[in-house]
Homo-oligomer: A and B are copies of this chain.
Amino acid sequence: MSYQKYIEHCQKIADIHYSIALLQWDQEVNMPEKGAEARSRQISTLSVIAHEWSTDKNFGRLLEELSKDSSLTWEQKRNIELSFKDYQKQLKYNSEFVKKLSSAISKAFNAWQAARKANNFEIFAPALEEIVALKREETKLLGYKDHPYNALMDEYEPGATVEMIDSLFNGVKFSLSELLEKISQKDTPDNKFAGKKYEATQQWKITEEFLQNMGYDFSAGRQDYAPHPFCTNFNAQDVRVTTRSNEDDLFDMLSSSIHEGGHALYEQGLLMANYGLPAGSYISLGIHESQSRLWENNVGRSEAFWKSSFKIINKHFPQQCAGLSEHDAFIANNIIQSSLIRVQADELTYHFHIMIRYELEKRLIEGSLEVKDLRIAWNEMYKKYLGLDVKSDNEGVLQDIHWAHGSMGYFATYSLGSFYAAQFYHQAQKEMPDLEDKIKNGHLLVLKNWLNQKIHQYGRLYSAEEICQKVTGEKLNFEYFHQYLENKLKTIYNW
């Protein structure tokens, strides 16, 4: 009876959150420009309701009561435990702080846009200072063990700590620098797809075919255009992806759709019966990202994938693909090249972009770095890790929207995603020795079903660490990513 009441309350909160998600999706995909003002107040009104319901005292008492109820099943107990943790966390935010933060964010977002226009970090710096001050305050509100940055990371990757990420990234830095060094002594292979035009409507058809093959259910989702690709959902039966087109680069839209499709398979794989409950929600951003990157990279940049997929792009772009081969497509998707922009980075150098941001954020939060010195620190690290000179702020410290959105503690989850992905994929290959053959023949559903069964169906019932242990038999181990990447690059760069 009490548990039923708990479910109903959670589902009502979910109704509000998902309504907000639709308001936001529409804002990115459909909304006419003049609609922005009223839309933002509508989102804000719904957010206040969601917050009030999430911190409702009666709900708190119900959770407390249920957390002592020994008659509950294991799954019910786990739901209560997570909801209680969420509830207690929400309580730590007083409404004064929430208001201050949200007004600082909207100021920072405007300042960031202005700074981008002028290509000048100084315009953004004062607003960012405010954000950093508030984020430092937030760590105190939330409380933390060992390092204040832990409090922020916990929001995106529950359980992640500076200690763990520092130690992980030390190894990553060493191994990937070594790999990068090896590659830098080799010739860069040719991207034979470059320098041609690829009509967007044809690219779109290819992405639809790819998504279909992956097992994305179009009767429980849809794809649209948006300036920044993303995946969102309004329940497990309405999970939408967006993509963007670049007619100069065939693989930009394709890999973006595969990436978002990977996110979408996770959300479509959650169980409708768990709507609104922790068991019906994703574990962490790192695990979410593992799903998108597994499809984008481990599958979508593999030789096996292009064995079956080259004919799809060839069908839609016969002229551009004339004389080219499956192998050429594989190569074009795996060229390593240090560059300044994170979102355009390859699978290897990407992680240096992340480690730079992680390091800088951590120092901003702990107070060993101030915003006024951020640009210099940024540029020094790009020189140190990637050997690149940052010539302008837009190519440097202004490139990401995260800080303007008040998202700090987020970046590491991108790398965690890649590392989890490699480990999961290795396990999938072990359990399905014919997986590569299947992929060579375009049969991807077997992998989707494996992920559904091993990961998606559980929602948050297991933590990131637990699901990794459960699925692969060990903790997160960077060596799987390292091996995967080295093996692939060896065949391309010949060593």
> Is A22 among interface residues, defined by CB-CB distance under 8 A?
yes
Contact call A32/B275, Cβ cutoff below 8 A: no
A37 proximity list for chain B (CB < 8 A): 235, 237, 272
Given contacts A22-B26, A23-B22, contact A217 B38 (CB under 8 A): no
- C-alpha spacing A245/B128, complex, angstroms: 50
Binds B, one of A9-17, A361-369, A440-448: A9-17
Report which of B15, B23, B41 forms a contact with A41, defined as CB distance below 8 A: B15
Q: Within the oligomer, what is the number of copies of this chain?
A: 2
- C-alpha spacing A41/B32, complex, angstroms: 27
A12 proximity list for chain B (CB < 8 A): 45
A218 proximity list for chain B (CB < 8 A): 32
Given contacts A38-B275, A235-B38, contact A19 B32 (CB under 8 A): no
Contact call A220/B18, Cβ cutoff below 8 A: no
Bin the interface of chain A by size.
35 or more
Contact call B234/A34, Cβ cutoff below 8 A: no
Instruction: Closest B residue to A41 by CB, please name it.
Output: B15
Considering only residues 9-56 of chain A, those with a C-beta below 8 Å from chain B are 11-12, 15-16, 18-19, 22-23, 26, 30-35, 37-39, 41-42, 45-46, 49
Report which of B22, B38, B235 forms a contact with A237, defined as CB distance below 8 A: B38
A272 proximity list for chain B (CB < 8 A): 37-38
> Is A491 among interface residues, defined by CB-CB distance under 8 A?
no
Contact call B42/A220, Cβ cutoff below 8 A: no
Contact call A39/B217, Cβ cutoff below 8 A: no
> Is A185 among interface residues, defined by CB-CB distance under 8 A?
no
Indicate with 1 or 0, residue by residue over A208-246, a CB within 8 angstroms of chain B CB atoms: 000000000111111000000000001101100000000
- 16 chain-A/chain-B pairs, Cβ below 8 angstroms: A12-B45, A16-B46, A18-B42, A19-B46, A22-B22, A22-B23, A32-B219, A32-B222, A32-B238, A33-B219, A34-B220, A34-B237, A37-B235, A39-B235, A42-B234, A49-B49
Which A residues fall within an 8 A CB radius of B? 11-12, 15-16, 18-19, 22-23, 26, 30-35, 37-39, 41-42, 45-46, 49, 217-222, 234-235, 237-238, 272, 275
Question: 8 additional contacts, CB 8 Å, given A16-B45, A34-B238?
Answer: A11-B41, A32-B238, A33-B219, A34-B217, A35-B220, A35-B235, A37-B237, A39-B234
